[in-house]
Amino acid sequence: MISDRPPRAHVEQHPYTTSSQSPPPTDQSNSPSGITRERSASGIRSHLPRSRANSNEILIDHFYKYLHPSHPFLPPRRFFNIFFDADSDSYQFLLMAVKLGGSKYAKHLASEQLRELAFTTACGPLPMTPQSVQGLLLMSIIACGDALFEHHAGWLDRALSMAMDIGMNHKSFIDTAPDLILAESFRRTWYILFVQQSTRNMKHSRSKVEAADIEHNVDLPCEEWEYESGIIPTPISVADYEARRNLSKVEFSSLAYLVDICKIRVELVLPYMRSNDDKKKASFDRADSKICDWLRRVPRWKLDLVDQDGVSDLVIHLAMNLAHVNRLRLRQSGLRSGLNVRDYFHLGPANGPYRTTKVTKGAGWKVQPFEIQAADAFCESFRYSIPVEYLHPMIGSALLVVALAYLDACVFLGLDSAVLREKIDMLLNVLSMHGDTWRLSRTIADDVRFVIKEYLDSSGVGIERSPAVIETVAWDPSLTVPTLDYVTNGILHDSLLALPPSQPGDFHDWVHVSNGASWLGVTSV
């Protein structure tokens, strides 16, 4: 049986459509991928009976198809078997975690035996290797998606501690990797660890190490299509990124942008949420302006990029969604933290430092809280080609923040409308579909349904809010012209408020989140 106890510390024993012009890597004749790149790797199959080998390959394929694109830190699929052949002992635990991840999407191959073995191994002694770090990181991601938060925290702590113990936070360690693809995989592993740790800190979870306190000098990862091709360019350093990021016509990899927005939330958003009330105004302005500047710098073409299967770059879309969620978190009440929306929804939205200036209404203009604008900007991702199954396991917590903005508008701010309710229904459907795979989204969907039932009656009348609060919808100086130019595309446009009510929600045929945009009458620009 799988133990309900959290893990404890132990003594440790398809290329994208845009091509890259980066120089090819230097030759490493001793590298596993260099030796065997042209042959068919069969190490995982060669030691197993045919039926079991076929099941393993299906599980690995499902992992790489559905889970890997949003957390691309393992070697690309066509190189994974090659590295397994070269050092199968080091990859046993990682392979187990990969198969467990794949079983979330190939339910006919899921088994309690596989799950129990993976959990038991993750809680037991492991060798001090990068592959053990990768396996623990993957197990923590799976545990969070399954709402096993103590396991998630324990395995993430252990992965981070092991990574620092063996030196994965230092460039010198990465440079000793025997293969350029492995070196890139280790870089990505370190930064996905940082991303996961920053997410955990934002949820007020206790951690042995704060993400902001981790010293590292690991170079930044390359583009996704470069990684998939196996042609790894010379990486850029964090110092080079800091020096060049504000230069015009200078662009970086999707993971570099993801790491940057996570640094902003660790260094600015999290301190704001923890600061005293007398210091919140200055902290708010600085954090919000940094996020706006980050949004300005992200190249628009990256959002339109698709791979050979027609799926968007999930890393850059994850980064964009984090930016909009961070702006919402700055504006939502600190008392309403965590995932228990049933318990804290009645507290209502915050009257934060940005709600200080009244807006003069003119003919043809609509006064709209900034939270609605930020939520709509998040939902702009729904018009891109992203299958719901591909969304990362923790997307439910982000969708909850967005749904909360719409629910507040309907219940507390006197802005209840058919359009806002349709947006809530759309988010609820995405949560429900994602919840078929991940328990976290399923639980959040149930809680949102509870709030809708309790606070939104069929007549469309919400809880009255004092006119003073409704009128003080902010003038937000951080919404600069470039930001407005960015967010006026797609689902954000105010013309949505004038859309006629649609037919009652019928979502069972949805496959992509872009179906939501089509349902609301929004098309790609």
User: Does 379 lie in the same domain as 279?
Assistant: yes
| pLDDT tens digit sequence for 174-227 | 999 999 999 999 999 999 999 999 888 666 555 666 666 788 899 999 999 999
User: Does 186 lie in the same domain as 287?
Assistant: no
User: Does 281 lie in the same domain as 169?
Assistant: no
Does 423 fall in a domain?
yes
Task: Give the end of a domain, one of 212, 234, 255.
Answer: 212
Tell me: pLDDT of 230 over 90.
yes
Does 179 fall in a domain?
yes
User: Does 278 lie in the same domain as 173?
Assistant: no
Q: What is the Cα–Cα distance from 334 to 326, expressed in whole angstroms?
A: 13
pLDDT interval class at 33 (50, 70, 90): low
* Among 135, 228, 236, 129, residue whose Cα is nearest residue 178: 129
Lookup: tokens for 354: 């940005």
User: Does 455 lie in the same domain as 385?
Assistant: yes
Task: Give the end of a domain, one of 171, 195, 212.
Answer: 212
Which pTM was predicted?
0.80
Residue of 335 and 507 predicted with greater confidence: 335
pLDDT of amino acid 206: 56
Does 253 fall in a domain?
no
Does 8 fall in a domain?
no
User: Does 466 lie in the same domain as 378?
Assistant: yes
Q: 381-392: string of b/e by CB count within 10 Å (b at 16+)? A: bbbbbbbbbbbb
Does 223 fall in a domain?
no
Instruction: Provide the domain count of the chain.
Output: 2
Task: Give the end of a domain, one of 212, 227, 257.
Answer: 212
User: Does 274 lie in the same domain as 155?
Assistant: no
| pLDDT tens digit sequence for 381-403 | 888 999 999 999 999 999 999 99
Does 328 fall in a domain?
yes
Query: Between the ranges 170-179, 330-339, 343-352, 362-371, where is the mean pLDDT highest?
Result: 170-179
Helices 280-297, 314-331: axis angle to 10 degrees equals 160
User: Does 190 lie in the same domain as 113?
Assistant: yes
User: Does 185 lie in the same domain as 270?
Assistant: no
Q: State the average pLDDT over residues 507-522.
A: 49
User: Does 299 lie in the same domain as 186?
Assistant: no
* Mean per-residue pLDDT over the chain, rounded: 79
User: Does 142 lie in the same domain as 54?
Assistant: yes
User: Does 278 lie in the same domain as 205?
Assistant: no
For the chain, the straight-line distance linking the first and the last C-alpha, in angstroms and rounded, comes to 52
Q: State the average pLDDT over residues 143-155.
A: 95
Contacts of 496 (CB under 8 A, 6+ apart): 376, 419, 520, 521, 522
Does 248 fall in a domain?
no
Does 18 fall in a domain?
no
pLDDT of amino acid 315: 97
Give the structural domain span for 375: 266-519
Contacts of 169 (CB under 8 A, 6+ apart): 163, 190, 214, 215, 216, 217, 218
